[in-house]
């Protein structure tokens, strides 16, 4: 089975609760809080575990929240390699107003990673044994960490023939694409910025993405289109996959679940047609659950079978 490593540079502990109604200037009585590990790559590792695929999660951690983060991952049987840092791990806070079912998400800023700590992260990646088949770089960058750090990570992985999957945004995504990666998962707005146009409609997505592929920026692009599903683009194929209609409770973790679904498909040798459908199935299944909860495997497998069955077989990719 493929060896997968996830890298999360701005991890968090997500603390969530429910109140009857959010009203200003009143003491609000909350339900018992729920604590969950958070951060792009960490969520990918958690989602992969639900699919029966192991991975190694690498992340900086320190302080009470860092200790709790490691404990929570241990409870989920996630293989982990925390890098001890001076600055404490951040926490996020999520509140659901029960009267409206609206969710309020309070994201705290990350903490800086010192230069010697950055070097330790690079050393950890360099000395991994065996060499990973896939490295997932996912989530935001903490303050003070420049995209050039990710370029070092990318070059190190490429030197070992590790396929790099990138799910980040802004300057970090744009900088990594300049160097050439295996797979990216931008939304339409991010793809528009990468190709230098103000906006793209769904019809123009395929041509724009194939332009990046022809230029050697990446091999596979999966454009996340929210409720409209996703579009898989390779050098010679454009495959749009609609999202199944479900009752949506929360979109938290849907993007990370989608990445995990695609990675699971790649790791288990499925066709690209099946890979993107597994991604859409996992991402959609995650929206069926409240709060910060990820998908249930039974939901993902049911949606995957539906997506595979409804699409014409002659559109299958190899």
On whether residue 95 sits in a domain, the answer given is yes
pLDDT at 27 exceeding the cut of 90? yes
On whether residue 101 sits in a domain, the answer given is yes
pLDDT value at residue 135? 98
pLDDT value at residue 231? 96
Query: How many domains does the chain divide into?
Result: 1
Structural domain boundaries, residue 156: 4-313
On whether residue 318 sits in a domain, the answer given is no
Which of the four pLDDT bands, split at 50, 70 and 90, describes residue 199?
confident
Got the DSSP string for 178-229?
Answer: HH-EEEE--BHHHHHHHHT-S---TTTHHHHHHHHHHTTSEEEEEEE-GGG-
What are the tens digits of pLDDT across the range 105-129? 999 999 999 999 999 999 999 999 9
What are the tens digits of pLDDT across the range 130-177? 999 999 999 999 999 999 999 999 999 999 999 999 999 999 999 999
On whether residue 146 sits in a domain, the answer given is yes
**Core vs surface per residue 159-197: b (16+ CB within 10 A) or e:** eeebbbbbbbbeebbbbbbeeebbbbbbebebbbbbbee
Please say whether the beta carbons of 144 and 15 come within 8 A.
Answer: no
Write the CATH number for 143: 3.40.1190.20
Please say whether the beta carbons of 26 and 97 come within 8 A.
Answer: no
pLDDT value at residue 316? 39
**Where on the phi/psi map is residue 269: left (φ > 0), alpha (ψ -120 to 50), or beta?**
left
Enumerate the active-site residues: 256
On whether residue 203 sits in a domain, the answer given is yes
What are the tens digits of pLDDT across the range 264-293? 999 999 999 999 999 999 999 999 987 778
Average pLDDT, stretch 82-93? 96
């Amino acid at each position: 089975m493929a060896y997968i490593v996830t890298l999360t540079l701005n991890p968090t502990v997500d603390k969530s609760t429910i109140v009857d109604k959010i009203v200003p200037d009143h003491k609000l009585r909350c339900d018992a809080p729920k604590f969950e590990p958070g951060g792009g790559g960490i969520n990918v590792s958690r989602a992969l575990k639900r699919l029966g695929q192991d991975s190694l999660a690498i992340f900086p951690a320190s302080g009470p929240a860092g200790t709790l983060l490691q404990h929570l991952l241990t409870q989920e049987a996630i293989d982990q390699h925390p890098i001890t840092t001076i600055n404490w791990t951040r926490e996020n806070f999520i509140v659901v107003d029960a009267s409206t079912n609206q969710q309020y998400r309070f994201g705290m800023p990350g903490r800086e990673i010192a230069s010697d700590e950055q070097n330790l992260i690079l050393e950890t990646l360099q000395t991994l044994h065996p060499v990973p088949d896939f490295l997932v770089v996912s989530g935001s960058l903490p303050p003070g960490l420049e995209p050039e750090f990710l370029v070092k990570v990318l070059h190190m992985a490429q030197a070992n023939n590790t396929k790099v999957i990138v799910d980040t945004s802004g300057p970090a995504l744009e900088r990594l694409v300049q160097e050439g990666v295996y797979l990216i998962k931008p939304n339409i707005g991010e793809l528009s910025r990468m190709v230098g146009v103000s906006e793209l409609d769904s019809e123009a997505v395929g041509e724009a993405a194939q332009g990046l592929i022809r230029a050697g920026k990446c091999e596979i692009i999966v454009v996340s289109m929210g409720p409209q599903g996703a579009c898989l683009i390779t050098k010679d194929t454009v495959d749009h996959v609609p999202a199944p209609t479900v009752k949506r409770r929360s979109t938290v973790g849907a993007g990370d679940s989608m990445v995990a679904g695609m990675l699971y498909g790649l790791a288990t040798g499925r066709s690209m047609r099946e890979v993107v459908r597994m991604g859409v199935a996992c991402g959609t299944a995650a929206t069926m659950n409240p709060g910060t909860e990820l998908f249930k495997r039974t939901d993902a497998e049911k949606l995957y079978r539906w997506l595979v069955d409804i699409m014409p077989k002659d559109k299958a990719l190899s």
